[in-house]
Amino acid sequence: MNNSQTNPRRGVAVLMVLLLISVVLGLSYAVVRSQYTARQIQQNSGRSSSARQAAATGLMMAIKKMHQGDDWNGVDTTLTGSLGDYESFQVTYTTGDALLASDDPDYEDWPYRVTLLSTGMAVDPDNPQCVATHQIQAVVQLIPRALADEPDEWDEMISYTFYQWKDGQFQINVPFRIEGPVRIQDDLELAKSYPWSNSARNRYLADLNSMRLNGFTDWRPFDGPIDLPYDKQPGGLISLYNTSMAVATNDLPRDDADDWSHPGEMLTYRLYPGGKTYSVQTIGGVQDNVTLEPDPTTNPLGIFYRSGKIQLYNNVTIRGMLISRGGHGSDIEFCGVNIELLPHNLPALEGTDKPVRLPTVLSADDVSFWCNSESTVTGLLTANDDFEVGWDNQDDISLDISGLVIAKDIKIRGRNDWYQNSGWWEDQYDDFDDQEDEEDAIPYFPVWLQAEEGLDPAPQLTVKPDPDDVRYHWPNANSPIYVPHGDDDGLRWTLLRWTENP
């Protein structure tokens, strides 16, 4: 065969072989590359799965610690842990819930919620610089099951509308009215500030009951029952209460609430063990044209505090707890008009629908209502010493308390327009007695006094039970509000939300 004819064919064959080899090498590389990529994807997926598992495990451990009392270090702390040589987690605790805005109907739940953010990490054993992460966020809310310890006598104290916590003066002058049970530790001075005779006083009080029985509003100073020591009462008064006024009484000896006291300095507080520490809002000695309310993020209990005297003047509204601290003179005085003090409802204990309330007014010394004041107080009012309503004309002062009062000395002064000399009162009573036989006689002494002298028997000063069914709690500067229940190892929480990679 001629060489010039075969050489080109051999060249083509070589080219075909080289082309096939190139194709095979390309395919082999693609296969190897694909296998490598698949292995990397598989490894990355495995690390991501491990990171997610680490995050979930960390979150479960973090929530469990919140249920274990002393094992939990509280909010603003971090829990870390490892699941092996290459997987770990980190969980942070933060007070509140970022999804609760100020216009949310559940905004007041903000301080009782905790946001947990768990970050799980998985490290590539062959390449420590390669770390997969996964985050899970959860929001939990406290389940209130128990309150911190209270004074031994607390349940008894709050069972009364008016409770005298220690032996002292208990002076009441008409027109004034307390509805519900009353506890008195010594003698009751009833309507003794006016220089009227016992006959005039007793007839006035008895006629208030007769009026009630005949369709008038009940304007008796008490509707009872009254628990008090009989041996401390002047002769004949128990019969006056029971028979003439139809007010039930019980003979109870003096029993001071020695375990009850002012909580002392209360500049910070917690809602629950491990919870955020809040600062009370300190206020000035004179409050005028102001509204003070709780802030769920900074002062959720609405505690407004001053070391020393607090004077409330015109247009003051406070919702929460007004507290004075100090010695003698650390009074809370109501001096103006349009004063309204309201309680702040805290979450009810599990299994009840009674909101928890702290005192609305908590004075280290006296609580006083002065002339020309107009005040409304809802909730628990406490005075370490005096509860006093000053002298004033009947129409120039008003006080409406819906709740209960705890104090040592009770001084409900008389009304100026009622304070007349003894001769005046003798003349009024004689004139009333003389007209009783007339055809158009006025049968009731209080009604006659109003018709002839303008002395209105309708009380402008009243204390009546809280219309709501609530649970009052006495605060302790060294304890949170809510604590673990005796049957539990720690607090209880409910899971509200769980979010992956928030």
**Is residue 274's pLDDT more than 50?**
yes
Region of poorest pLDDT, from 40-44, 259-263, 403-407: 40-44
Q: How large is the average pLDDT for residues 291-317?
A: 98
Q: How large is the average pLDDT for residues 305-331?
A: 96
Query: What's residue 36's pLDDT?
Result: 44
In angstroms, rounded to a whole number, what is the distance separating the alpha carbons of residues 155 and 171? 25
CA distance to 53, 129, 158, 471, per residue, from 353 (Å): 39, 55, 18, 9
Burial 170-184 (b: 16+ CB within 10 A, else e): bbbbbbbbbbbbbbb
3-state secondary structure at position 151: coil
Region of poorest pLDDT, from 25-39, 186-200, 357-371, 433-447: 25-39
pTM equals 0.89
pLDDT tens sequence across 463-481: 999 999 999 999 998 999 9
**Is residue 44's pLDDT more than 60?**
no
The β-bridge partners of 454 are none
Give the tokens for residue 161: 């509308």
pLDDT tens sequence across 184-211: 999 999 999 999 999 999 999 999 999 9
In angstroms, rounded to a whole number, what is the distance separating the alpha carbons of residues 499 and 502? 6
pLDDT tens sequence across 220-263: 999 999 999 999 998 889 999 999 999 999 999 999 999 999 99
Question: Mean pLDDT, the chain, as a whole number?
Answer: 92
Band of the pLDDT at 309, cuts 50, 70, 90?
very high
Query: What's residue 71's pLDDT?
Result: 85
Cβ-based neighbours of 362, under 8 Å, separated by 6 or more: 262, 263, 321, 322, 323, 324, 382
**Is residue 46's pLDDT more than 70?**
no
The answer to whether the beta carbons of residues 239 and 224 sit under 8 Å apart is no
The answer to whether the beta carbons of residues 79 and 62 sit under 8 Å apart is yes
